[in-house]
Structure 1
């Protein structure tokens, strides 16, 4: 988690939860039976339009029917900094849909949305068990994906085996989509494309880099990022002078950074999650290792990364499938800018692409429910295949493999301005600061 106190974080979540339950009619937490218990279940339920006082003559009316979405999320553990971004955006999007009257489905019924989200503790095996429980015991037909490719892989296998549709906002490894799984869709482009525009940006600079180091964690997502980077660097004529796989349990990478320094690499591509990038940013400073470009595939774009690393976050780059400067129309939040304001107001941080993708997950289901005459996992799945709509996340339309091909924007943390969109040029907020100043020059 970020360096706010645990007490402060709990107070924030409790306050938001109370506000949310009030807005959704105070329906409370759904008690789900099953071996995993209910202690990690988060729910969002019926519409504000059904919250009636004792004095209201309509107080005897039944609340609207509900459609339940279910999934796991890294609400604790190593991936919780990013997991909370998904959970918050799921919650807020469902709240907005319900408060606007719910979903007018193609079967002629108006439904409220309900979310059952359990804490997988950043553990793939626990996530797999959660999804098995959700479909087998709780009877949930529509699944939102977890965070990270390593956790999404086994979760998507459960969805395929049970023939339940899953829409994921946090799984990008090509391995997820190479196994003929017809039940999984992803809002993210595949991981092997994450470095493409960043390397393009670096090569467009005066005195572009000629050598690069790749340090990649051993999980599927980061290995796919590294594989794509190798091809992009080769095409650009950049020599890969260090290419190392870092075991998952590694928390000290100073030995690997010594290899980067000895090879005098111009570019460091650190293919890892947020905790890995935090360690790397701090150890680059403590070991006084200089590179022209320090890059990671998105775990360094959050406010919590900045809070944890301070000035050591300066000059880091990261890719994003979502450009905050592009103000797209949105049926739930009206526009991208309104979504950004809503997240900032409700949760106290600036959203990243993780937040936007999570909102688009819920909206994808919403559109599918609206399009079908009969609500079944198969009809909803087929409707998602055909869906096309504009959203705060941009255009949502899935390719044959269930992904959304998209060119990545590139952000950089800059000392005075903070996180800035620096590529592509036509939509940038600032020029990239290249090369990165040496530690002695800062």
Structure 2
């Protein structure tokens, strides 16, 4: 079967024809505004070309004599910032070595090669800290491109918004993992970069805030590292936060929604918890009160393969999933829910069920990545039940 290109019928015309002709003025060499991934370039005499001829999708433009590959921004699988293989104190910018054009306020630069950025030597100020969110910045003095790491989420020390642009970030490990056979994070040290926490302008959470999150490649979602702290717009995944509990399912749904996140589903929890302690609970068998890197009764760190803390044997966590159970005390009818926000209809002998996952601080052998409790309604509140939130990728 013959194929046809979508082309104008003649030069400068907008119809569809069957022979190859030039678009617009024939060449893209006049005033053009190009916007790619939020980067906008206006150019009149920069000499844009379509690289490789009419069959290419690569738009190239020289900046200071270097041709930038604009099509890079449209390739979702290519990372701007990634982990540094074999070195958990660094990340690498432009790991595939493309000529990436980048706009910093009014300053255009091309990133022509992979560049390592070190948490020890490229920090803007101070020393690295455990369980902390760091941000990677591309910086300029107007002529030269450089990179900085900062705990400041707006600008790095020594630069202003006109001379810096946040291009990614990561979270550091709160407590050393120790040796755990078969674990992806075995022997990771305190303050090491959590590999799955590394994000950039093309690989990040839809909620708009990657602080305290890691990416699960199995379920393709961003997951909170820590149990939820705070409520409403103050809801966070943070090291050392006061764990939110004694809130019903409805309240936690609202908390997650206030920050653009949601509760985990049953399969998502199982996948994200892989590598966590199984059939044990937290050392001391008591509510820890705050988020951190805890140890179980066997002396093992309570951390999953992707870096989620306290998924099993600390606090149960509400799941999004709906279930039901037989209850001969229930007559068919409408049931009043907390607050004037509607009622729940229950069929005869049937009660509402929302699942918890993981087990709590005294569940011992019941706790684990596949531990589920199917005996609570959405309006129940308990001191041993909290939540963990997720966000789809952007």
TM-score between the two structures when normalised by the length of structure 2: 0.26
Specify which structure has the higher proportion of strand: 2
Q: So what's the TM-score if we normalise by structure 1?
A: 0.24
- Between 1 and 2, higher relative CO (CA 8 Å, sep ≥ 6) is seen in 1
Q: For the pair shown, which has the larger CA radius of gyration, 1 or 2?
A: 2
